[in-house]
A = this chain, B = another copy of it.
């Protein structure tokens, strides 16, 4: 077996995707050098192009989809932890605040940094980020619909819940404090209660 074939063994693709997701979560797409990515994934440049013929950008789209699923799992865990949708959204904010503190403020939203870089410059990445945000909103929307909110209210509130959590997560990272997320959780809970 040639080294290229070896590095294309099962597991390598997963490691590339997970590593790309983590590095993009921390610094975005542009500041993630392919060399560092391949090294930290214990892969080779050959295996990257084997699995992702389109190179770094194609890998980045897969990494965004991976981050999308990871964040969705955390969202779902918080939402499922309470029956009441207002309490459930507040529980999500608490979960995010804990995860952020435990990662010394590094593990924020997996796609925000890349999303901002992508606007008007990298359509494939921008589209993948838009899909991720839409998936997260749908989870919140379904929770609100299941608790009797109207379709219009559920759609609009889900949009604001995800926007607010994203912004509060960023504020929490920059100030290295859980407060922005915990306060946002209380406010979102109050807002949802006003509609429920």
A117 to B27, CA, bound (A): 5
Within the oligomer, what is the number of copies of this chain? 2
Per-position binary interface string of chain A over residues 137-175, scored 1 when its CB falls under 8 Å from any chain B CB and 0 otherwise: 000000000000000000011011011111110110111
- Within the assembled complex, what's the spacing in Å between the Cα atoms of A126 and B117? 18
Name which residue of chain B comes closest to A119, CB basis. Answer: B173
Which chain B residue lies CB-closest to A158? B183
- Measured between alpha carbons, how far is A194 from B186 in the docked complex, in Å? 13
Interface residues of A in 8-40 (CB under 8 A from B): 26-31
Residues facing B in A70-91 (CB within 8 A) are none
Q: Is the CB of A120 within 8 A of B108?
A: no
Besides A30-B30, A104-B120, A166-B167, 6 more A-B contacts (Cβ < 8 Å) are A31-B31, A31-B117, A108-B116, A133-B175, A157-B187, A163-B180
